[in-house]
Amino acid sequence: MDYFRQLALALKQEWQEDKLNFDEQVRLSSVQDRRANGYSWYPVAIRDTELGKGDYLTVQFERTTHTEIPHLFRFGGAATLFSQHQPDTNRLEGIITHVSGNTLKINFRTEELPDWADDGKLGIDLAFDDNSYEEMRKALQLADSLKDKREEGRLIRILTGEETPTWRREESSFTSAALNESQQAAVRKIIDAQDLAIVHGPPGTGKTTTLIEAIKILCLTEKGPLLVVAPSNAAVDLLSEKAADAGCSVLRIGNPVRVSEKLQALTLDVKLATHPRMKEIRRMKKQADEYRTMAHKYKRSFGKAEWEQRKALFKEVRAIMKEVDNTMEYMTRDIIEKSQVITATLVGAAHYTITDLRYAVVIMDEATQALEPAAWIPILKTRKLVLAGDHQQLAPTVKSQAAAEAGLSTSLFEKLVQRWPETVTMLTTQYRMNAGIMEFSNRKFYEGKLLADAFVADHTIFPGDAPFLFIDTAGCGFEEKQVGTSTSNPEEAAFLVNYFIRYWKEVTEAGIPAKDLSIGIIAPYKEQLEAIRKAVENAGSVPFIQQLSINTVDSFQGQERDIILISMTRSNPDSRIGFLSEIRRMNVAMTRAKKKLVIIGDSSTLAQHAFYSELIELAEQRKAYQSAWEYM
């Protein structure tokens, strides 16, 4: 089957599965359950309304209770305003344009809110994100239509294996005392590539530092703006801030997750607000609001004269807002033309303000976590692509088994590493982990090519402390329990917490300023996370609680902690280990630790898998193996 049609089929399977799951989570559950799971804000209050672009009404909402519950609302996502008086019929869908704390703004394609919005008991539901799927579908169709065109299709043909990447005749002489040799080699390859360069950055090897150095040079040497993208907003924020610090003129498309003044200043909203022509915009909007207020006086009056007057007032409002739109478009173009680097998420690259732009280079970070159809959205806007990531860490998240089997769980990055190895530079010096923590991952995933920098190679929590420990719970009777579709092991959770309280005593007795240490506890199952949190609560006054993060592997991606403890959870007579068999996920978990890694698990269950058998064997060779019985 044709390359892009096969991808489109896999994407359709993923869309169907995702929509089915969403409907089960949201449409078919109570407002209390939706709120508890982060899919709803209820109740909310309207704090402000204003006319936005075109026929859009922008409304600011605030959630007034249950403000401590985490939520899934994000910039650019779809959301539905509903009335709990009649939740099945009183609904209005819009797009989230801003999220900050307990307030968010939604654009509705209407000139005014419906009458039922005046009656209270309002809430907001997360709506299914069809827009992202639509942008991915469009990108695949466009790639398919362009692939045979001589110039526009060249990069497409290289990425699909039909043509060969090329390099500049004169090799770059770039050097930098701030970068190590492998990082310098990566920057040189980025400069020299005519169409494709790949940076393979294992954990702690300074991938972001390398990319920023390349971006600085490309800003000076390339004609036209650069587009810097990543699948996650957090990664885009980091790159935006670092590129701005490096002296580049940066425009952040979308709403930053990390709300700092520095990041806000890079956004289009703030740049528009400080543009010289904004006073003119404010004057026109004020006039439009006055006409709209007059029109609302006739909202519940339906006489012919009132209806005509209302119609005339709204016509005037539309005329003013059209002039506002034209002025805003001029201001937006002006800001974009003055930007050297534009940053966005993969789908954000299709934002209406930049959708028609072409770029000298597209740089994609976290490329190994990008769904391939989403990656094509920014790729089609350039003739030169730089990918950065690590295909030995987390792969794209795919919900549909059929889509995964059709290839959607394999990133374009991973395909290209195999297809064009000459385009790849691997960063080989890591600055995070003690060499003893790094050893197993280095052997299993990186062909032994990683070196621990001298500054971190021997660092430990206190002198004489073992950097790596496997604690075997075999024979302790810590049996796993199925909880719905998840798994927990309460006895293992309690053991982990008791072990760590004991270890913490050693830390404080060694005179270490413990308040400066960061601690992460990782478990593969959400139910086990709950069991660990409960065990921490049951332990009473825990001195390290402020420094402690408890979460899944995926949530720790891109992060690091001084101390990491991993609860393997699985313990059963059939040696079933579920998705612990996804060893790249385990690689992520183990490589979050800087100075201390403790893995707690049942060897009799785990060792049937070759990966864990080798891990336990290495622990025994390094005298880093202990039985849980030694602590009981």
The 3-state secondary structure of 145-208 reads: HHCCCCCCCHHHHHHCCCCCCCECCCCCCCCCCCCCHHHHHHHHHHHHECCEEEEECCCCCCHH
Is a pLDDT exceeding 60 seen at residue 1? no
Q: Amino acid identity of 117?
A: A
Q: Report the pLDDT averaged over residues 568-584.
A: 94
As a whole-number percent, the residues of the chain with pLDDT over 70 amount to: 97
The predicted model gives 69-92 an average pLDDT of: 88
112: buried, middle or exposed (CB in 10 Å: 19+, 13-18, 0-12)? middle
Higher pLDDT, residue 308 or 599: 599
pLDDT score of 516 more than 60: yes
What's the whole-number mean pLDDT along residues 27-32?
A: 84
- 514 pLDDT band (50/70/90 cuts)? confident
The whole-number pLDDT of residue 303 equals: 66
166 or 120, higher pLDDT: 166
Q: Which of 1, 4, 14 lies closest to 379 in space, CA to CA?
A: 4
Confidence of residue 308 (pLDDT cuts 50, 70, 90): confident
pLDDT in tens, 517-544: 999 999 999 999 999 999 999 988 888 8
Q: Which residues, 6 or more positions from 420, have their beta carbon under 8 angstroms from its beta carbon? A: 158, 164, 165, 196, 198
Which of the listed ranges 119-133, 317-331, 492-506 does the model predict with the highest average pLDDT? 492-506
Q: Residue 297: pLDDT above 70?
A: no
**Backbone dihedral angles phi then psi of residue 81, each to the nearest 5 degrees:** -80, 135
Distance in Å from the first CA to the final CA of the chain: 59
pLDDT at position 301 is 54
DSSP tag of 591: T
Question: pLDDT at position 328, please?
Answer: 84
pLDDT digits (tens, 9 = 90+) for 53-75: 656 789 999 998 998 888 889 88
User: Mean pLDDT score of the chain, rounded to an integer?
Assistant: 92
Mean pLDDT along residues 215-220: 96
pLDDT at 493 over 90: yes
- pLDDT band (50, 70, 90) for residue 551: very high
Paired tokens of 362 = 């597209």
Residues in Cβ contact with 524 at an 8 Å cutoff, skipping those fewer than 6 apart = 552, 553, 568, 569, 570, 578, 579, 580, 585
Q: Does residue 545 carry a pLDDT above 90?
A: no
What gap in Å lies between CA 206 and CA 368, rounded to an integer?
A: 16
pLDDT at 302: 61
* Phi–psi pair at 17, nearest 5 degrees: -65, -45
pLDDT confidence of 364, banded at 50, 70, 90? very high
Q: What is the pLDDT of residue 55?
A: 62
Ranking 90-94, 216-220, 459-463, 600-604 by mean pLDDT, the lowest is 90-94
- The confidence band for 318, taking pLDDT boundaries of 50, 70 and 90, is confident
Residue 555 pLDDT: 86
State both tokens at 26: 């949201």
pLDDT score, position 296: 67
Is residue 300's pLDDT more than 60?
no
Closest Cα to residue 580, out of 615, 625, 549, 620? 615
Residue 285 binned pLDDT confidence (cut-offs 50, 70, 90): confident
pLDDT at 45 over 80: yes
Q: Classify strands 486-488 and 424-426 as parallel, antiparallel or unpaired.
A: unpaired
Which has the minimum average pLDDT: 119-123, 234-238, 250-254, 295-299?
Answer: 295-299
Structure tokens that stand for 236 in this block: 């885009």
At position 607, the amino acid (one-letter code) is A
Is the pLDDT higher at 560 or at 276?
A: 560
Tell me how far apart the alpha carbons of residues 538 and 532 are, in angstroms, rounded to a whole number. 10
Q: Please compute, for residue 263, the number of CA atoms within 13 A of its CA located in the half-sphere on the CB side.
A: 20
Model pLDDT for residues 459-485, shown as the tens digit of each residue: 999 999 999 999 999 999 999 999 888
Q: Which two tokens stand for residue 560?
A: 């690091």
Least confident of 36-50, 199-213, 285-299, 411-425: 285-299
Whole-number percent of the chain with pLDDT over 90: 72
pLDDT at 23: 86
- The SS3 call for residue 28 is coil
pLDDT of residue 603: 97
Tokens standing for residue 278: 């904004």
For residue 111, what pLDDT is reported?
77
Structure token digits, residue 67: 């403000």
Q: What is the pLDDT of residue 294?
A: 73
pTM of the model: 0.89
- Tell me which DSSP letter residue 127 carries: P
pLDDT at 133 over 60: yes
